[in-house]
């Protein structure tokens, strides 16, 4: 067994093959092919099975990575799948879109020793895609049904993970979502070239097959208030994500074709799903034939530039006020974007948008990095007399997201939020200031990652279970008692 592992000195690190750039640029299919079984086993065998697996420590859901790597190297894939899914509700999704360089792989011991990290994410994807192909993935089936119910607001990864965990414990679970499809940003934010929609949809079908009820096109605040949901359920989980786009307050920001990133990405994702999108069909949200400038340096900006390339933009530029080393987006995605023809204009910020009927040009300024701020990050400063212009018939603003005003939106002014507008929760319970109302995912952390949303959803499910059981013993919970 031992000789199957520790192969990092003989076997070089390899990612699964990437599709050829010209093909990638012309469709929205995922860019990585699957590992061949032999390559997956070889790559897994590079793991050193070190005594303190930092990969596991730095994985937000604490996946038992060394064990599933060893099982994969030995060809024991079904067991590898069992271990992998025990800690993660959506492992093949994380394998695709986690920024592994900052999480598990960035802390791999053989990487620190200069051998190149084990390709943990790709093996995780391989194990779980294989499990789907072979029919090993089944809906959770609770050993006993419980009479209590939980209402979950938001069908993104936090809400879905919590729903699956609570259903496994036998609770009646209803998810409310204002979108017409479940999945949250997995469906309408993240493009298919990173995560194909069927990969998300088979997961949401599985959650429904486990007996979770989905009430879609149901907006809490419009169709029911939070106090009303509290009366319907023994506990409520808020997992609404963050959707208020940060804006640029610059001259010309109101011109046509200066667009918020989510409008642009949602339209593209909807087209891919076969929906009618008039604002895309009339050209407004379609980059075809245009010079496109995307402002921002995070994952959202990377997704916008790469979407524009695939829509057939004439040129695509990404304007970011810091340099490459200081950008928040994953370096892997920047490299992919560069391969696909995106031009990065580092250390540059917009000054104004010019045009008559719509935007025609971005006026920009060069920046340099000045002294570090309180967080240790160097603040960008304008370089004097450095103005330049870029042609642009479409500008996409990808500057990040803040929480919506939930107390007002939910008709529940007593819900406490932080000064950033995120829901204030107690740790480790994740319960808000309202009895029996919990929160998880981006609405607690601010814009974050899918794997953290899953972790929070799982933690919230544990807390909700403890809360309901404690109430059941003392006979205090309203909804099921009243039912
Ligand atoms: C463009 C983009 C690309 C990203 N790329 C990556 C990536 O590559 N890797 C990664 O790990 N993370 C990425 N992220 C971040 C990741 O998508 C989020 O951190 C994650 O989806 C948060 O999960 P969530 O469940 O908290 O919220 P969401 O996924 O936002 O889901 C919230 C759900 O709540 C619903 N909702 C909101 N308000 C209401 C209401 N009043 N009533 C009913 N329903 C409501 C919404 O419709 C939505 O379905 C990306 C984000 C964006 C925007
Ligand atoms: S869930 Fe993400 S961080 Fe954890 S092992 Fe998988 S890819 Fe790495």
* From 111, 121, 330, mutation site for ligand 2 pocket: most ligand atoms within 8 A of C-beta: 121
% residues pLDDT > 90 (the chain): 86
54 shares its domain with 186 = no
Q: How far apart are CA 239 and CA 151, in angstroms?
A: 10
**Atom 3 of ligand 2, residue of closest alpha carbon:** 59
CA 290 to chain centre: 28
**Cis bond before residue 428 (omega within 30° of 0):** yes
480 confidence band (pLDDT: 50, 70, 90): low
481 confidence band (pLDDT: 50, 70, 90): very low
409 confidence band (pLDDT: 50, 70, 90): very high
* pLDDT at residue 188 tops 70: yes
25 shares its domain with 114 = yes
Residue whose structure tokens are 């879905």? 160
Nearest listed ligand to the Cα of residue 398:
1
* pLDDT at residue 439 tops 70: yes
Whether 127 is in the pocket of ligand 2, judged by its Cβ within 6 Å, is: no
Q: How far is the CA of 28 from the centre of ligand 2 (A)?
A: 24
Q: Residue 215: which domain range? A: 149-242+403-482
- For residue 399, what pLDDT is reported? 94
* pLDDT at residue 351 tops 70: yes
**Atom 37 of ligand 1, residue of closest alpha carbon:** 240
Q: How far is the CA of 137 from the centre of ligand 2 (A)?
A: 19
* pLDDT at residue 58 tops 50: yes
User: Lowest-pLDDT range, 30-39, 237-246, 325-334?
Assistant: 325-334
- Tokens at 293, concatenated: 């400038």
Find the mean pLDDT for residues 449-477.
92
Kindly report, residue by residue over 23-33, the tens digit of the pLDDT. 999 999 999 98
Find the mean pLDDT for residues 48-77.
94
Kindly report, residue by residue over 211-221, the tens digit of the pLDDT. 999 999 999 99
In a domain, 125, yes or no: yes
Give the domain CATH number at 126: 1.10.1060.10
- Tokens at 472, concatenated: 């059941």
Give the domain CATH number at 391: 3.50.50.60
Q: Do 46 and 9 touch, CB atoms closer than 8 A?
A: no
Q: Which is nearest to 448 in space by CA: 121, 103, 105? A: 103
Q: How far apart are CA 156 and CA 204, in angstroms?
A: 10
Tell me which of 400, 419, 449 is where a domain ends: 400
479 confidence band (pLDDT: 50, 70, 90): low
285 confidence band (pLDDT: 50, 70, 90): very high
Q: How far is the CA of 185 from the centre of ligand 1 (A)?
A: 4
Mean pLDDT of the chain: 94
**Atom 1 of ligand 2, residue of closest alpha carbon:** 94
In a domain, 138, yes or no: no
Q: Where would I find the H helices in 313-435?
A: 331-339, 406-409
Find the mean pLDDT for residues 341-351.
97
Kindly report, residue by residue over 309-334, the tens digit of the pLDDT. 999 999 999 999 999 988 888 888 99
Tell me which of 400, 424, 445 is where a domain ends: 400
Relative to the CA of 409, which ligand 1 atom is closest? 41
> Three-state SS string across 57-88, please?
HHCCCCCCHHHHHHHHHCCCHHHHHHHHHHHC
* pLDDT at residue 69 tops 90: yes
Whether 221 is in the pocket of ligand 1, judged by its Cβ within 6 Å, is: yes
Listing DSSP states for 149-207 in one string gives EEEEE--SHHHHHHHHHHHHTT-EEEEE-SSSSSSTHHHHTS-TTTS-HHHHHHHHHHH
In a domain, 49, yes or no: yes
In a domain, 359, yes or no: yes
Relative to the CA of 124, which ligand 2 atom is closest? 6
Nearest listed ligand to the Cα of residue 67:
2
- Tokens at 362, concatenated: 């971005």
**Atom 13 of ligand 1, residue of closest alpha carbon:** 449
* pLDDT at residue 478 tops 60: no
* pLDDT at residue 3 tops 50: yes
**Atom 8 of ligand 2, residue of closest alpha carbon:** 104
483 confidence band (pLDDT: 50, 70, 90): very low
- For residue 112, what pLDDT is reported? 73
In a domain, 370, yes or no: yes
User: Lowest-pLDDT range, 177-186, 190-199, 322-331?
Assistant: 322-331
* From 56, 57, 58, 63, mutation site for ligand 2 pocket: most ligand atoms within 8 A of C-beta: 63
74 shares its domain with 178 = no
- 388-427 burial, b for 16+ CB within 10 Å, e for fewer? eebebbbbbbbbbbebbebeebbebeebebeeebbbebee
Domain count, the chain: 3
214 shares its domain with 271 = no
204 shares its domain with 272 = no
* pLDDT at residue 4 tops 80: no
- Orientation of helix 65-73 relative to helix 37-44, angle to 10°: 130
CA distances from 409 to 413, 419, 424, 445 (A): 9, 17, 16, 19
213 shares its domain with 286 = no
311 shares its domain with 382 = yes
252 shares its domain with 362 = yes
Q: How far is the CA of 169 from the centre of ligand 1 (A)?
A: 25
Q: How far is the CA of 154 from the centre of ligand 1 (A)?
A: 9
* pLDDT at residue 113 tops 90: no
Whether 330 is in the pocket of ligand 2, judged by its Cβ within 6 Å, is: no
392 shares its domain with 426 = no
In a domain, 140, yes or no: no
Tell me which of 84, 109, 133 is where a domain ends: 133
* From 98, 452, 457, mutation site for ligand 2 pocket: most ligand atoms within 8 A of C-beta: 98
Kind of pairing, strands 401-402 and 235-238?
unpaired
- For residue 334, what pLDDT is reported? 93
User: Lowest-pLDDT range, 9-23, 58-72, 350-364, 426-440?
Assistant: 9-23
In a domain, 298, yes or no: yes
378 shares its domain with 428 = no
* pLDDT at residue 1 tops 70: no
261 shares its domain with 220 = no
In a domain, 141, yes or no: no
304 shares its domain with 410 = no
Relative to the CA of 95, which ligand 2 atom is closest? 7
């Amino acid at each position: 067994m031992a000789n199957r592992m520790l192969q990092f000195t003989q076997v070089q690190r390899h990612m699964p093959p990437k599709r050829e750039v010209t093909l990638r640029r012309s469709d929205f299919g995922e860019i990585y092919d699957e590992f061949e079984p032999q390559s997956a086993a070889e790559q897994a065998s590079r793991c050193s099975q070190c005594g303190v697996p930092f990969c596991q420590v730095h994985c937000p859901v604490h996946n038992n990575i060394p064990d599933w790597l060893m099982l994969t190297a030995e060809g024991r894939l079904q067991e590898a799948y069992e271990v992998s899914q025990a800690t993660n509700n959506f492992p093949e999704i994380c394998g695709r879109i986690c920024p592994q360089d900052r999480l598990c792989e960035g802390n791999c011991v053989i990487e620190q020793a200069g051998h190149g990290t084990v390709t943990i994410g790709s093996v995780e994807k391989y194990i779980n895609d294989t499990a789907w192909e072979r029919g090993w993935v089944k809906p959770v089936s609770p050993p006993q049904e419980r009479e209590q119910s939980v209402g979950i607001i938001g069908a993104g990864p936090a809400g879905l993970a919590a729903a699956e965990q609570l259903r496994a414990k036998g609770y009646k679970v209803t998810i409310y979502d204002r979108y017409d499809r479940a999945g949250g940003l997995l469906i309408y934010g993240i493009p298919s070239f990173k995560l194909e929609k069927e990969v998300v949809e088979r997961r949401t079908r599985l959650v429904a097959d486990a007996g979770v009820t989905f009430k879609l096109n149901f907006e809490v605040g419009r169709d029911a208030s939070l106090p009303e949901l509290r009366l319907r359920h023994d506990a409520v989980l808020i997992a609404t994500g963050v959707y208020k786009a940060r804006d640029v307050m610059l001259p010309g920001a109101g011109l046509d074709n200066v667009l918020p990133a989510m409008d642009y990405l949602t339209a593209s994702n909807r087209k891919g799903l076969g929906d009618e999108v008039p604002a895309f069909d009339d050209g407004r949200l379609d980059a075809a034939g245009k010079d496109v400038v995307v402002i921002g340096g995070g994952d959202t900006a990377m997704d916008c530039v790469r979407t524009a390339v695939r829509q057939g933009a004439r040129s695509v530029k990404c304007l970011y006020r810091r340099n490459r080393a200081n950008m928040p987006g994953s370096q892997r995605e920047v490299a992919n974007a560069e391969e696909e023809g995106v031009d990065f204009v580092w250390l540059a910020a917009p000054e104004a948008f010019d045009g008559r009927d719509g935007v025609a040009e971005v006026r920009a300024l060069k920046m340099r990095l000045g002294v570090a701020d309180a967080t240790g990050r160097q603040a960008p400063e304008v370089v004097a007399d450095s103005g330049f212009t870029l042609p642009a018939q479409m500008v996409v603003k990808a500057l990040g997201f803040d929480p919506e005003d939930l107390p007002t939106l939910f008709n529940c002014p007593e819900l406490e939020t932080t000064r950033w507008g995120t829901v204030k929760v107690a740790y480790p319970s994740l319960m808000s200031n309202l009895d029996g109302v919990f929160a998880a995912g981006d609405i607690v952390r601010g814009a974050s990652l899918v794997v953290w949303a899953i972790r929070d959803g799982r933690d919230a499910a544990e807390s909700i279970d403890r809360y309901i059981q404690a109430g059941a013993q003392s006979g205090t919970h309203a909804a099921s008692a009243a039912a």
